[in-house]
Structure 1
Amino acid sequence: MPASTNSAGPSAAKTDLQGLELAEHHFGPLLHPIRATQNAWTNYSINRLHTNQKYHTAVSVSRKGFEHGSEDGSEQYAYDKCSNEAWLFDSVKACVSQIEDEMDIENGILQKCITFLWNDTVLDDEEPRSTDHIVRIYSPTTPMYIDVHLKHHRRSRRSEVEWQYSLGYKIQRRPSAMADNAVTIKKELKMGGPPHVYAYNGWQTLCWGCYDECDWNYGERWHRIECGRVELHEEEVIDVHEALFGELEKPAETDSEAMLAYQRSLVRGIRLLLAAVGISYDVACTDDESDDRPYELMLEGLSDKWVARGIRNTCGLRLTRDAEEEREGAKERREEAKGDDDERDYDSDY
């Protein structure tokens, strides 16, 4: 993905304004901005300005013929609807717009916080066969940002399906007054299988999944032997929300309505990380709601929606159906693996 070619240099960040006033001037209206030091808001603003001049934001990209003005420091970039970029740009804008609607905030408030740092996507027809991209979410509330990385591959072959992905994030609580280099950020990630990509440099795993590629699981004997896990913990989902939307006070356990609103907010923070990389996943928070998982970027390899359940449970929500669905999911995985064992036993007799 080409970097932005905005002619405005670092001097664009120089102004008599400082601190929160500087942030509001360039990126306002902010969303209930928190109190922080003048230096923190100034560094955030300069970092965001420089980064937006170097890369593209969700509001600075549009399909050719639909160009519009941008006020976030980035130059307009028009992309072809048939390009590999189109899928990521369109998906992210649609997914983040859905979160804006749920929060009942002005369209674009969150979209303008999204900056595309890295995009290596290969399409199969109009769907992504593989994608490796990094997206930054500048908080609309705090002088922080979160980088989100997704590496996803799915390809159907004659007798089997290749599928694996890793999804992780890194919170930057004290941005410097300098734009980061996407190549440097990419080098922070570890090469290897999905469970190990985010082992160093402050990165956190959100979730990962794959089909087992052991030596005997191939060709006509191939089975969907699913591996994967949601790696979140309670303190991490709280950290994500605080970085994006500020501190969230936990209500008393006896106030069920306030507690549900609190837990929904935590779930929404994680869903925004997913939305920022083009994944729309509706996670049920009550028994009368349903989990609506994504199609193009598959996060689960069988029928069990364990990613939604893992996010929900980490945020303190446990639905009536969760235990049964977890048992059924474990049973399905055992049956897939057992089917492969039966064929291996059969092959060994000949």
Structure 2
Amino acid sequence: MLANSAESADPSAAKTDLQGLELAEHHFGPLLRPTRATQSAWTNYSINRLQTNKKYRTVVSVSRKGSEDGSEDGSGDGSGEDSEEDSEEYEYDEYSDEAWLFDSVKACVSQIEEEMDFENGILQKCITILWNETVLDDEEPRSTDHLVRIYSPTAPMYIDVHFQYYCRSRWSEVEWFYSLGYKIQRRPSATAANAFAIKKELNNGCPPDVHTRNGWQTLCWGYYDDSHENYGKNWRRIECGQVELHEEGVMDVHEALFGEMEKPAETDSEAMLAYRRSLVRGIRLLLAAVGVSYDVACTDDESDEGTHELMLEGLSDKWVGRGIRNACGLRLARDAEEERAGAQERLEEAKGYDDDDEDDDEEGDYDDDYGF
């Protein structure tokens, strides 16, 4: 069928006269322990990835096997020599707001590569940025609307990740909200991505509702509630937010990215910890693909550390890290107490401050209080 033919869909593929897994290895190898799949599945994956990389921008260049000078990166016409027009299309100002996403993704994903003992770039080259709207306030994002695609280095699949974020400090209040979600595509078509069509799949409602239709799944969301006259000098940090992961979804993400993983016996504590840590790492890669760094504790002597540039929690409680960990089957001894303390903190913040506290706030630097 012509729709599955590499020769009919991409000129560079036609020159190799390859199909299936061999085609994927030629353009994107080395793959990581590639899973068994039909020839058409791997061919469609390869064409989708080649055409999407040509239409949009990869985080790092993808060098193909068979290229003597390494210039073949999937963004040209398949001849190994990009036209001047193509080269200009993919250039970006390293000092622009848009450059923040590229730099952040590289930094976050390279950390995961190092943890997994992977060669630098092995995961970075799997990420293509489909939509990048970034507005910086000094050096930190004020607002983002990011859509990226993670092509699996293991299976003929990909995961689209969307991150919508806004945070702005005003004289007497902070406006903050975000939503992060993903969609697994297990059967890619032999066509390039269409970012506008993907954006239309999303819901333009409040943060909990953005990723709730057309196969999208919510990872986490948060915002400060400004209802019930919560604004002006009486504003309080009324935090709302939730991690909406579950163990089955976590395993689906890991399977799509790194293949199936056999669950060890519960009696083998060391192997079980490694298994759970791998599940956590799969979710962290989704965050890293949109420039969000988050170290999730997997043992009691580790700590949850979120990024300082993007606020995923509105108060001190690290509920995002705990939620990811719990969804991956890990429950630390301190989790119950920290969850209780977090609920108490939200309750106290919702009650507000007395007059003396308000006077103190007005005398100080509001931005310093919140670290923005």
TM-score with structure 1 setting the length: 0.91
Partner deviation per Cα, 1:283-319 (whole Å, 9 max, x = no partner): 0100111111111111000000000000001101011
Q: Which residue of 2 aligns with 1:201?
A: 214
Mapped to 2, the partners of 1:260 and 1:126 lie a distance apart of: 37
Q: Which residue of 2 aligns with 1:34?
A: 35
Q: Which residue of 2 aligns with 1:280?
A: 293
Q: Which residue of 1 aligns with 2:339?
A: 326
- 2:271 is equivalent to residue 270 of structure 1: no
Residue type of the partner of 1:222? W
Residue type of the partner of 1:307? V
Over 3 Å counting, the alpha-carbon distance change for 1:196 and 1:70 in structure 2 is: farther
Q: Which residue of 2 aligns with 1:252?
A: 265
Q: Which residue of 1 aligns with 2:241?
A: 228
Q: Which residue of 1 aligns with 2:103?
A: 90
Match of 2:195 among 178, 182, 188: 182
Q: Which SS does the other structure have where 1:20 is aligned?
A: helix
Moved more, 135-144 or 209-218: 209-218
Q: Which SS does the other structure have where 1:79 is aligned?
A: coil
- 2:118 is equivalent to residue 105 of structure 1: yes
- Structure 1's consecutive aligned runs of 4 or more residues displaced over 6 angstroms after TM superposition are none
Q: Which residue of 2 aligns with 1:16?
A: 17
Post-superposition offset of 1:129: 0.5
Q: Indicate the percent of aligned positions where both proteins have the same amino acid.
A: 79
Residue type of the partner of 2:36? R
Post-superposition offset of 1:118: 0.4
Are the counterparts in 2 of residues 114 and 137 from structure 1 also a CA contact under 8 Å?
yes
Mapped to 2, the partners of 1:240 and 1:124 lie a distance apart of: 33
Q: Which SS does the other structure have where 1:45 is aligned?
A: helix
Q: Which residue of 2 aligns with 1:154?
A: 167
Post-superposition offset of 1:70: 5.2
Post-superposition offset of 1:88: 0.6
Residue type of the partner of 1:141? T
Mapped to 2, the partners of 1:315 and 1:72 lie a distance apart of: 36
Structure 2: state its 5+ residue gaps: 1-8, 63-68, 77-86, 356-372
Q: Which residue of 1 aligns with 2:5?
A: none
Q: Which SS does the other structure have where 2:237 is aligned?
A: coil
Post-superposition offset of 1:161: 0.5
Are the counterparts in 2 of residues 27 and 72 from structure 1 also a CA contact under 8 Å?
no
Post-superposition offset of 1:192: 1.0
Match of 1:191 among 182, 199, 204: 204
- 2:322 is equivalent to residue 300 of structure 1: no
Q: Which residue of 1 aligns with 2:81?
A: none
Residue type of the partner of 2:29? G
Q: Which residue of 1 aligns with 2:134?
A: 121
Structure 1: state its 5+ residue gaps: 1-8, 62-67, 344-350
Post-superposition offset of 1:215: 4.0
Partner deviation per Cα, 1:15-66 (whole Å, 9 max, x = no partner): 41111100000000111111111111110001000000000001039xxxxx
Residue type of the partner of 1:42? T
Mapped to 2, the partners of 1:237 and 1:231 lie a distance apart of: 11
Partner deviation per Cα, 1:205-245 (whole Å, 9 max, x = no partner): 00000000114110100111000000001100000000000
- What's the RMSD between the two structures over aligned residues? 1.6
Residue type of the partner of 1:286? T
Mapped to 2, the partners of 1:70 and 1:297 lie a distance apart of: 35
Moved more, 34-43 or 142-151: 34-43
Q: Which residue of 2 aligns with 1:3?
A: none
Q: Which residue of 2 aligns with 1:139?
A: 152
Are the counterparts in 2 of residues 144 and 173 from structure 1 also a CA contact under 8 Å?
yes
Residue type of the partner of 1:12? S
Post-superposition offset of 1:156: 0.3
- 2:85 is equivalent to residue 72 of structure 1: no
Mapped to 1, the partners of 2:160 and 2:96 lie a distance apart of: 24
Mapped to 2, the partners of 1:29 and 1:110 lie a distance apart of: 11
Post-superposition offset of 1:198: 1.1
Residue type of the partner of 2:240? C
Moved more, 291-300 or 108-117: 291-300
Are the counterparts in 2 of residues 13 and 50 from structure 1 also a CA contact under 8 Å?
no
Mapped to 2, the partners of 1:130 and 1:70 lie a distance apart of: 35
Moved more, 290-299 or 303-312: 290-299
TM-score with structure 2 setting the length: 0.86
Residue type of the partner of 2:270? E
Post-superposition offset of 1:69: 5.8
Q: Which SS does the other structure have where 2:307 is aligned?
A: coil
Residue type of the partner of 2:146? H
Mapped to 1, the partners of 2:98 and 2:72 lie a distance apart of: 22
Q: Which SS does the other structure have where 2:159 is aligned?
A: strand
